[in-house]
Amino acid sequence: MRVLVTDAEYDVLDIEEEVLAAAGHELVTARCRTPADVIAAARDVDAVLVQYAPITAGVLEALPGLRLVSRYGVGVDVVDLEAARARGVWVCNVPDYGTVEVALHAVAMLLALLRGLPEHARNVRAGRWDYRLGGQLRRPGELTLGVVGLGRIGRMTMERASPWFGTCVGYDPHLPDDAWPAGVERVGLEELFTRSNAVTLHLPLTAETQGLVGTDLLELLPAGAYLVNTARGALVDVDAVLGALTGGRLGGVALDVLPEEPPPADHALLTHPLALVTPHVAWFSAESERELRRKAAQNVVTWARTGRPDHPVVEGR
């Protein structure tokens, strides 16, 4: 069986090649950016590993021999899932490769905002040594933490961060009551924003969550609240965030993901004194990268051997 890596950020694909070759499969590579690139590269392959290349309805229609798409990562928004379902193409992901790393990054960002670290560090680098320049800091035990999405990462973030806070509230419309974590009050999304002094996002990107956090929700926050996003960039309207920072509704924002990556070099968020922006690094450690690549390739191997990948998102045939 021939397997194509449509695109990847890794210089050498030795991990994928080792996993696939051990099962007798051939690995081929490309550098696809557009649907046309994918169609040209994948005409005679059975499965693809994809990072950012778009797997659209047109791609799937043009590649009748393609039976499985394995995504490097948790999110599968680069794949037209309905088109895959209609054509019987398996879609799978790697849902559990960087849970610790992303939760750690979210908590680190949250604590940095709570203690004003970005602004203090900038002032010290500029030669200003004055604790009062970082703004009015609050004791977290007097504050409420809001966690939006309580899957693997959201739950771990909550477990690590909530002991610092006086109250923790959560929103997750897909989590049943019998799986709801102890110590977290279940509330609606608007109530969560109304009550939370700090909000951390842990949702997938779907048609329903695209641009979820915009002006309407941000205006509900208590003045000076904090927002952290280590999930998907398009969950947040960054123009609305800038407005909330300027107007004082937000006391700080920490974003590891943005709707456009990398952002324009002159983007106002990159130099805003109350913004902490990192380059989509929350998932990364040497160990998590190896795990991601191995499991993305193993999805293909398991499917070829058993007829079902390890982590299906869309059931094929």
* Residues annotated as part of the active site: 232, 261, 280
* CA torsion through residues 17, 21, 22, 24, sign: positive
Tell how far CA 307 is from the center of its chain: 29
Residue with tokens 């989509």, as numbered in its chain: 280
CA 92 to chain centre: 16
Closest CA to 287 of 295, 276, 278, 297: 295
Euclidean distance between CA atoms 235 and 17, whole angstroms: 34
Contact 25, 1 (CB under 8 A): yes
Residues 6+ apart with CB under 8 A from 238: 255, 258, 259, 269
Please choose, from the candidates 152, 34, 22, the residue with its C-alpha nearest in 3D space to the C-alpha of residue 98.
152
Dig out the tokens for 79 from the structure.
């794949």
